Amino acid sequence: MKCTVILSEPINVVVTGAAGQIAYSLLYQLAAGTVFGPNQPINLHLLDIEPAMRTLEGVAMELEDLALPLLREVVTTSSPETAFKDAAVAFLLGAMPRKEGMERKDLLAANVQIFKVQGRVLDKCARKDVKVLVVGNPANTNALICSHYAPSIPKQNFTAMTRLDQNRAQAAIAAYAQVQVDKVKNVIIWGNHSSTQYPDAAHATVTIQGSTKPVPSAINNDWLNTTFIEKIQQRGAKVIAMRKMSSAMSAAKAAADHMRDWWMGTKPGEWVSMGVMSDGSYGIPKDIIFSFPVTIENGQYKIVQGLSISDIAKSKLNITAKELEEERAEANSVVQKD
């Protein structure tokens, strides 16, 4: 007897900065079903600026040539209204990059203009349950700006990507312990997607030769408290120094991981790191987008509660929270002038 698979109705998935390098590595994963599952068809709405349209048309041709059954429609556009129409999911990859000599307040001012437009159009055109992932940096504060300009969409629907940092941390511990990367679980990234973030292995586990142990008891603590933290905090800068471009392939993989877990849920006993609106958990100021460990079920995430936080860890959380408060203040000063 042959089993018939019933497919869902297609969902509209928006990717901004769609002619860029991160998108080029992300789009196949979306179209092939690795993010939303093998029974969820999608329509891809690809948004970029007008000068990028020729490149974007070439990307659309490649998507067509993939001949993937889950990909029903590809829309290429420079119009946010067209891109965000009835969007169920939005990957906001495009942002103003920091240029040489640019101060953080200048970068934030430029991004306020970008995410103001996108927030307003999301508010007007997207589904009210749209899941928004901001990848373009400064991702945490860009997500905050975007949510500010989309008041009819729940604040918890706006997230920032720290999954790349989590993946880096998991891989670094696995390499040090000489195990496969899937043998490391529950590493946490706290705070901002910046050099102030706190990669925390205090609650992580590692399975070595069939035995699962807390990472701090299995790995040299001097390495964990110094080299490991610095390595993850500086990894993005190191990639740029070596590649002469920012992370693209690994960022795309992390964006897919983030959204797959948000859409499909986390495994029992495991959590992932996401930049989400702070509700005051762990003493973090409210109303900043802060990376916490979360579990996800039925498309809804919950911040993991009750983890013990050492005094050293608290001080590191305070540093990254302070940076995010400063970014919020600088962004608000631009918003108020608007």
**Residues annotated catalytic, as ranges:** 193
Is residue 250 within 8 Å of residue 167, measured between CB atoms? yes
Dihedral angle at the C-alpha atoms of 134, 135, 136, 141, nearest 10 degrees? Answer: 50
Query: Which H helix or E strand runs over 200?
Result: strand 198-200
- 10 Å CB burial of residue 324 (0-12, 13-18, 19+) is buried
What single string gives the DSSP state of each residue in 277-310?
E--SGGGPPSSSEEEEEEEEETTEEEE-------
Partnered with residue 126 across adjacent β-strands are: none
Alpha-carbon distance 125 to 86, whole Å? 6
Q: Which residues contact 311 (CB under 8 A, 6 or more apart)?
A: none
Alpha-carbon distance 194 to 321, whole Å? 11
Structure tokens at 260: 């797959």
